[in-house]
């Protein structure tokens, strides 16, 4: 998302696939591996979490993030290389594809930083 003075912010969502319920939301202007690891820590405060966590291959999901997931017994699954994002249509152009979390928030969240 972009504010009134054109600063860009990134939103981090954790969505439960079965119910499509947003479990956690975080916003920052500079996402890093440490920041995403802290977001995951906040969702798994007692070291317990979902069985799987699916995310893209961004560098923001590296060593610290994987370590926190392993500590919570979460198996991390990365999307395939060059997989479409939720905002890309089949022909590669940018368009809404009906993913529930993006549709209502797309006017606010214009980044591609999302965890499923």
State the CATH number of the domain containing residue 37: 3.30.420.10
Expressed as residue numbers, the domain containing 85 is 10-105
**What is the pTM (predicted TM-score) of this model?**
0.66
Instruction: Kindly state whether residue 3 falls inside one of the protein's structural domains.
Output: no
Per-residue pLDDT of the chain (116 residues; tens, 9 = 90+): 677 888 888 888 888 888 888 889 999 999 999 999 999 999 988 877 788 888 888 888 889 999 999 999 999 888 888 766 655 544 444 443 334 444 434 333 334 334 44
Instruction: Kindly state whether residue 90 falls inside one of the protein's structural domains.
Output: yes
Q: What is the pLDDT, as a whole number, of residue 6?
A: 82
Instruction: Kindly state whether residue 84 falls inside one of the protein's structural domains.
Output: yes
Q: What is the pLDDT, as a whole number, of residue 40?
A: 92
* Phi/psi of residue 104, nearest 5 degrees: -75, -20
* Side-chain half-sphere exposure of 101, counting CA atoms within 13 A: 24
User: Given the DSSP bridges, would you call strands 52-55 and 21-28 parallel, antiparallel or unpaired?
Assistant: unpaired
Instruction: Kindly state whether residue 99 falls inside one of the protein's structural domains.
Output: yes
Q: What is the pLDDT, as a whole number, of residue 87?
A: 53
Residue 57 structure tokens: 């291959």
Instruction: Kindly state whether residue 110 falls inside one of the protein's structural domains.
Output: no
SS3 28: strand
Instruction: Kindly state whether residue 43 falls inside one of the protein's structural domains.
Output: yes
Q: What is the pLDDT, as a whole number, of residue 70?
A: 92
> How many domains is the chain built from?
1
Query: What is the distance between the alpha carbons of residues 103 and 101, in angstroms, rounded to a whole number?
Result: 6
Q: What is the pLDDT, as a whole number, of residue 108?
A: 37
Q: What is the pLDDT, as a whole number, of residue 86?
A: 55
Instruction: Kindly state whether residue 76 falls inside one of the protein's structural domains.
Output: yes
For residue 20, what are the CA distances in angstroms to 8, 14, 16, 65, 94? 26, 10, 5, 22, 22
Instruction: Kindly state whether residue 28 falls inside one of the protein's structural domains.
Output: yes
């Amino acid at each position: 998302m972009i504010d009134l003075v054109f600063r860009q912010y990134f939103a981090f969502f954790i969505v439960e696939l079965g119910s499509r319920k947003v479990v956690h939301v975080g916003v920052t202007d500079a996402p890093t591996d440490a920041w995403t690891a802290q977001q995951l820590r906040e969702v798994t405060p007692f070291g317990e979490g979902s069985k799987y966590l699916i995310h893209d291959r961004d560098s923001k999901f590296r060593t610290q993030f994987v370590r926190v997931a392993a500590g919570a017994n979460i198996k991390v699954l990365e999307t395939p290389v060059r997989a479409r994002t939720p905002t890309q249509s089949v022909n590669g152009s940018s368009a809404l594809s009906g993913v529930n979390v993006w549709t209502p928030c797309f006017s606010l969240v214009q980044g591609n930083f999302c965890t499923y």
